[in-house]
Amino acid sequence: MTRGNCWCEELNKDGSDTADLPGGELRSKERCSSVLEAEGSFVLETGVLVARAIRAGTLELTLGGVVLGDSWISPDDYALSYPWLLEGVSRLDDNAVGKGIMMAVKVKQQMAAGQFVAAYTTWVNLLDMIDSRSGNVNMENFVLDTTVSSVLSDSAARPLLSPGNSQAANNGSNTVSDTVNGFLKQKFKIIPKDFIWQEVSLQVFDALANDFMKPAINEVDELLSYGVNVTVYNGQYDVICSTLGAEAWLPVDKPSTAPYMISSIVQYPAN
């Protein structure tokens, strides 16, 4: 849909509407931002589609870069980082670390075999084990504890739905939703009245379990091969998408494309 001076369009996840992704809209909006930013891997899929369209000559646009913040790019690398990270900050004992490593290795093996739903189940079990053996460490900030008794309970089992979602649930409020559906809607007057912003539902999250555990490293490599800058930001207290795990998937082993990577992970304090 088009509103005001910018464009917004929902993409089919399979990329079947790639031709209509920017279309004539972006060609007439060349002064709009050309940097894609998101927390998850979907921005990489969008970035690849845009980059391919530019290379094919169907889109006249300069893609300045792709920005990834605490992004779920390589699930097995992140899972393998949990035991070591939490041991280093004294949140897990040696026995729990050993068990965590075995579970993370199982996640990696299942992913390699294409068993992504099974890998998701193992990953959730890993989180549950960490929760029970760490004194309920907060996986979004290892300095804190969570009030949820098990990460399998409610939204805590899906920590990637949105930043700080478990805390918002505990507080019984969602200021982001209130702001978007209230103040911003009235301010800009471009959001249709029947459109309501909300966090991803748990039903949607579970339905995407097969996609959730698929790595997006190939998309990063493809963007780098096109000369598109990929910037990675990671919170220094985050466990789910830890800096240690992000360092494991950075493409430093690809000399032909690595120079395009802004490989220094910028750490910012957790709120």
Tell me what pLDDT residue 40 has: 64
pLDDT at 33 over 70: no
Q: What is the pLDDT of residue 114?
A: 96
Cα–Cα distance, 64 to 49 (Å, whole number): 14
Of residues 206 and 26, more confidently modeled: 206
pLDDT at 65: 86
**φ/ψ of residue 264, rounded to 5:** -75, 120
Q: 90 pLDDT band (50/70/90 cuts)?
A: very high
Q: Give residue 201's pLDDT.
A: 67
The separation between CA 255 and the C-alpha centre of its own chain, rounded to angstroms, equals 26
109 pLDDT tier (thresholds 50, 70, 90): very high
Tens of pLDDT, residue by residue over 231-264, are: 888 777 889 999 889 888 876 555 434 434 444 4
Structure tokens at 185: 């809607």
Beta carbons of 82 and 53 less than 8 angstroms apart = no
Q: Ranked by mean pLDDT, which of 14-18, 123-127, 216-220 comes out on top?
A: 123-127
Average confidence (pLDDT) over 189-194: 83
- The most confident of the ranges 125-139, 172-186, 255-269 is 125-139
For the chain, give percent helix, strand, coil, nearest 5: 45, 15, 40
Tokens representing 234 are: 């990671």
DSSP letters of 11-46?
PPTT-TTGGGSSHHHHHT-TTS--EEEESSTHHHHH
How do residues 142-183 score in pLDDT, each as one tens digit? 888 875 444 444 444 444 444 444 433 444 455 777 888 888
Residues 6 or more apart whose Cβ sits within 8 Å of residue 162: 168, 176, 199, 200
CB 74 within 8 A of CB 217: yes
Q: What is the pLDDT of residues 46-85, one digit of tens each?
A: 899 999 999 999 988 888 888 888 888 999 999 999 999 9
d(CA 109, CA 131): 23
